[in-house]
A = this chain, B = another copy of it.
Amino acid sequence: MKILIPDTIALQVSADAEVVVYDIRSEIPVEHRDAQMLVVWHNSASWLQDAAGYLTDLRLVQALASGADVVLNAGFSDEVRICSGRSLHDGPVAEHALALILSAVRRLDRLRDAQLEHRWDEDFNDVQSARDSQRDYTLADARVTIWGFGSIAATLAPLLTALGADVRGIARSAGTRSGYPVHADADAADVLADTDVLVSILPATEATTDLFDSAIFSALTPGAVFVNVGRGATVDERALIDALESGRLRAAAIDVTTSEPLPASDPLWDAPNLILTPHVAGNRPIGAGALIDANAARLAAGDPLVNQVHP
């Protein structure tokens, strides 16, 4: 088997295969178009569309990103299996999500702005210790709902529990996962009404497009916090800005936007009480070489693949 490995990441691959490193900015040389496995990392959508046309022997595309939507939309033939890099990002994404959740709840953005003004923010001490607002500034006893309860959520949830939060999930089907109660999408309204902090780890699909709209933000407890480490396309960004401007949301922290990179003129940049990071939660896969090895071996043996998302 021949595996094409992108030049955008340092990988330790020990699969029993011919490994060819390729430049993601150029076409695959003709002599390597017989590869059966293609690993992609930071490849452009147009590169993938081209490759889908000329890599005719391909059996598996292994994405290293947490979501494989760009690959899924590239036009690969239906027989080509597609695997995501989901499990490589559980730890890193959970870590960045926790950093964003804590920053939004503890309002480190507000304190950073005060620092830039050389201003010791005494008012912060008042509101964080006032009887009526104290609980807004801590995860202790906060009701946190994670929408999209997969492996990242399973890593994140215990961290939130350790900080004193009451954690539950929403997913396509109800049940108990990793010890946490997970409610079905259909019951979301009831859960949201009891939610102080809503964390999305949803992928971009037809069903999730603009899911987080004014109806969802209005369903949360007044003054709730919204955090998105999933995909930007799941958010109606005008509704998010409105909810922040009206105070319906007390604060939000997002790592993803509908347009990336976000244009300098976009109104999101200046939305009040919003923390915006440039899609950095998941850009650091851990264990990619081992995943490639495992899926190469499974493909050769006809075993089920890890993180398969298509067909």
Residues of A whose CB lies within 8 Å of any CB of B are 9-10, 91-92, 95-96, 98-100, 102-103, 106, 108-109, 111-116, 118-122, 124-125, 128-129, 131, 134, 137-140, 158-159, 162-164, 260-262, 264-266, 269-270, 275-280, 283-284, 286
Contact = CB atoms under 8 A, between A and B. Distances in A.
A106 B99 contact: yes
Contacts of A164: 91, 95
Given A91-B164, A128-B284, A280-B128, A98 B102 contact: yes
Given A163-B95, A164-B91, A284-B134, A108 B103 contact: yes
A125 B42 CA distance: 11
B124 A278 contact: yes
In order of increasing CB-CB distance, the 4 nearest A-B pairs are: A120-B261, A99-B102, A118-B264, A118-B269
A140 B261 CA distance: 27
B280 A111 contact: yes
B278 A125 contact: yes
B275 A112 contact: yes
Given A103-B108, A112-B112, A125 B275 contact: no
A156 to B, nearest CB: 10
Given A140-B91, A260-B120, A269-B115, A125 B163 contact: no
Copies in the complex: 2
Given A102-B103, A118-B266, A134-B284, 8 more contacts: A10-B131, A92-B140, A106-B280, A112-B275, A115-B269, A125-B283, A129-B283, A138-B284
A116 B278 CA distance: 13
A125 B279 contact: yes
Contacts of A269: 115, 118
B278 A111 contact: yes
Contacts of A91: 138, 140, 164
Nearest to A106: B99
A106 B111 contact: no
A279 B112 CA distance: 13
Contact of A162 (B120, B137, B159, B283): B159
Nearest to A164: B91
A280 B112 CA distance: 13
Nearest to A91: B140
Contact of A114 (B109, B278, B283): B278
5 contacts: A96-B106, A102-B102, A103-B108, A125-B278, A159-B162
A126 to B, nearest CB: 9
A197 to B, nearest CB: 13
A122 B122 CA distance: 35
A120 B275 CA distance: 13
A283 to B, nearest CB: 5
Contacts of A270: 118
B95 A99 contact: no
